[in-house]
Amino acid sequence: MLSNADEGERRRLAAIEAAYDPGSKRHLTALGVGRGSRVLIAGAGGGSLVRWAAETVGLSGEVLAVDIDPRFVLPLAEHYPNVRVVQQDVVTQDLPGGGFDAAHARLLLGHLPQREAVLAKLADALRPGGGLLVEDFDWGSYGPAEPNPSAEKAIEAVSDLARSFGFDTAFGRRLPDVMRRAGLVDVDAEGLVLTLRGAAFPLEPMFRQTFDRLLPHLIAGGQMSEDDAAALHQRFDDPEYDMCTQTLMSVWGRRPA
């Protein structure tokens, strides 16, 4: 039985998957993921892309799922004979194996101080001609759809705190250059901004839980009052309140053949 914390984390991951899996699958397919492919999923999260990749590559292919907390993907290795799950810290440990046809990391690197070194590891894990898809946020679009000083203040406080914790809030826009410097070629990118409309929005669990995790730090640091926090919670529940998300930058490239 899952604990309340597990259930909350599963809901958060499921929200991310519902919002962003369609684009990730489209880009991975364009990179050539298909029958017989060997695919590396770094930061496997809730496992939806691992499941999709396992079914896409078939028994002649292989899917390696790497995560520092693989609790939600471990059952997939029992269900799919072509899936291997490895618990690993991608910062301190080398990736197991190489020669992959494709590798993917979504919302994994932006909060890591060693983000560029980890991206280089992913690039090195590819076979010549293999494709890497990295997806991460650029925070420039994050804010209310209409001018709202209190909401803008709250989002600025959240962004400042995220940066103090090591997030690179501009990493998404920098990704194409980072990938080229990692030696990848044919680099291209696409950005996706969604509109959060209160509790009706699929990503609402992710935004609410992230905010609730940061809230004690924001109040303790004087960046937000309890009244400000209550007002922001009301906006999460308001189906008429529109807020733009961060831009998910999907950036892909290939290891030279």
Q: Looking at the predicted structure, is the pLDDT value of residue 4 above 70?
A: no
* pLDDT tens digits, one per residue of 182-196: 999 999 999 999 987
Domain of 167?
A: 4-254
Q: What is the pLDDT of residue 81?
A: 98
Q: Tell me 222's DSSP state.
A: T
For the chain, what is the domain count?
Answer: 1
- Give me the pLDDT at residue 74, please: 97
For position 58, which CATH number holds?
3.40.50.150
Residues in contact with 30: Cβ distance below 8 Å, sequence separation at least 6, in sequence order: 252
- What would the mean pLDDT of 212-235 be, rounded to a whole number? 83
Q: What is the pTM of this model?
A: 0.91
Long-range contacts from 15-20, C-beta under 8 angstroms, 24+ separation: 15/202, 15/203, 15/204, 15/205, 15/206, 16/45, 16/46, 16/106, 16/107, 16/203, 16/206, 17/45, 17/46, 17/48, 17/49, 18/202, 18/203, 19/194, 19/202, 19/203, 20/106, 20/135, 20/192, 20/248
